[in-house]
Structure 1
Amino acid sequence: MELLKYGHGDNFGKNYADGNRAFANGQGLMYIQGSWAISEIRKANPEGGAGIFPVTDRK
């Protein structure tokens, strides 16, 4: 729930493929997703680049 405030106004108006495609085409700077999405993102934009980092709940 903490992360919802950082999303766009229609967080639940996009589906899985929409999010992958938008990220692949540079319509977002960060995308909270798992490693399973890499192949779909690359399909949408094979020339795109991205880095990854872990998200933890440590305080």
Structure 2
Amino acid sequence: MLPLSMYAAGTERMIEAMGIGFLDAVPRMFISIAVAAWCAALLWLVLGFLGRTR
């Protein structure tokens, strides 16, 4: 999950530095994937915790 966020941030900085406007969708896509992965991990953690407390 962290590499996805780092890739998105690095790509965003590269786009700004090099002026490559056509890649604007790439960081947004990877941030969306990273947020979905973090949500899935949090859900998995909560479900695992609830399963152990029963």
Class of the TM-score when normalised by the shorter of the 2 chains? under 0.3
Structure 1 or 2: larger helix share?
Answer: 2
Say which one has the larger Rg: 2
- Give the TM-score, by structure 2 length: 0.27
- Give the TM-score, by structure 1 length: 0.26
